[in-house]
Amino acid sequence: MAKHRGRGVASINYPIGMNLGGDPSQALVHSNPDGKFTVALSSIDLGQGMKSVTRQIAAETLGVPVADVYVDTADSDTGPHCMGSFASRGTHRVGNAVIAAAKEARGVMLEAAAEELEVNAEDLETDGKGNIHVRGAPQRSISVADVAIAAQFRQGKTISGRGIFLIPLSDVDPETGEMTPVSCYAHACLVADVEVDDETGEVTVLEMNSAYELGRALNPKLVEQQLVGGAWMGMSHALYETTEPHYPSRENGAVDFNEYLMPGPGDIARHNIAVLERPAPDGPFGGKGPGEMCANPVLPAVANAVFDAIGVRINDLPISPERILRALKTRDGISH
């Protein structure tokens, strides 16, 4: 009876979004008379930070402070259409839609400002602090709030913009069967070090080292947050979580948190992460987004590490103590 150490590696190419019906997302941007902007989306932020990232994207494109942008994702009945928050598509698809909508709104905003300043809209620029001025002549300036008031009450203009992102549909080539399922891939590699106890069948993840290439990290702290939390979930799927019955039938399956197991704060492994940024040509400001890829490489890396430790392949998840002990018995020719 002993504890065996093993190391496993997994590398993945991960598709961002999908290509069903072009995978569209829409965004609507409008200003209120106080010069603050609202971005309406139907994509839901479940805590991954999409509201923060789309807010940054809208502010950057409009040329206004982040504090002056509010992202409203409340209602998919009344908001513009979106395929949803899944398939790691949020940052890329929704971000691109927000850029398109914010560009159009910026155009109207600059037209309205041009009318107030009696200049050509092409000669105007934003300072990112809530002002618009003539390029090269910053004293010829008007605040975004004053432009919004003028547009609303004098010019009769709506400072608003519509945006949609739709990727070209890729049909299957009848000769070769070839198609382009997605337009953009992220990449990752993860090394897992584990310890397998051949008496109890327990697997402990000792350390993870990973590198993720996910385009430009639009909000580095949010990216790190996703990678740390996602790896935990990957570890949980690899070793703990299952709704399967243990013995002998489904009625004995997990029904609550006492039986549906997850690693707790005492079970987490040290995780060193390197984020590699290769801006994606078709991503919003080069971003692809971390998405589900945070969790994915952990599972094969842990399975490979278990193989390295005890020389048996576990082909079903999770790699539970029961599966380890059964596999060891099979390896050693002991009948069950």
Question: Nearest to residue 73, comparing CAs of 111, 101, 39?
Answer: 39
Q: Smaller CB distance to another protein: residue 165 or 232?
A: 232
Q: Rounded to whole angstroms, how far apart are CA atoms 182 and 87?
A: 11
Q: Running DSSP on this structure, what letter comes out for residue 169?
A: P
CB of 47 vs another protein, minimal distance in Å: 3
Q: Smaller CB distance to another protein: residue 31 or 85?
A: 85
> Who contacts 194 (Cβ-Cβ below 8 Å, separation ≥6)?
5, 6, 7, 8, 203, 204, 205, 206, 302, 305, 306, 309
For 164-175, letters b (16+ CB in 10 Å) and e give bbebeeeeeeee
Q: Rounded to whole angstroms, how far apart are CA atoms 305 and 68?
A: 49
Q: Smaller CB distance to another protein: residue 203 or 295?
A: 295
Q: Smaller CB distance to another protein: residue 268 or 328?
A: 268
Q: Smaller CB distance to another protein: residue 233 or 293?
A: 233
Instruction: Specify whether the CB–CB gap between 323 and 316 falls below 8 A.
Output: yes
Q: Smaller CB distance to another protein: residue 28 or 269?
A: 269
Question: Nearest to residue 89, comparing CAs of 39, 48, 38, 29?
Answer: 48
- Helix, coil or strand: residue 39: strand
CB of 295 vs another protein, minimal distance in Å: 10
CB of 227 vs another protein, minimal distance in Å: 9
Show the tokens assigned to 22.
């072009």
Q: Which residues bind another protein (CB under 8 A)?
A: 46-49, 221-222, 224-225, 228-233, 256-258, 262, 264-266, 268, 271
CB of 272 vs another protein, minimal distance in Å: 12
How large is the angle between the packed helices 321-331 and 298-310, nearest 10 degrees? 40
Q: Smaller CB distance to another protein: residue 21 or 47?
A: 47
Cβ atoms within 10 Å of 46's Cβ, excluding its own: 9
Residue 82: φ, ψ to 5°: -145, 145
CB of 208 vs another protein, minimal distance in Å: 11
CB of 263 vs another protein, minimal distance in Å: 8
CB of 198 vs another protein, minimal distance in Å: 27
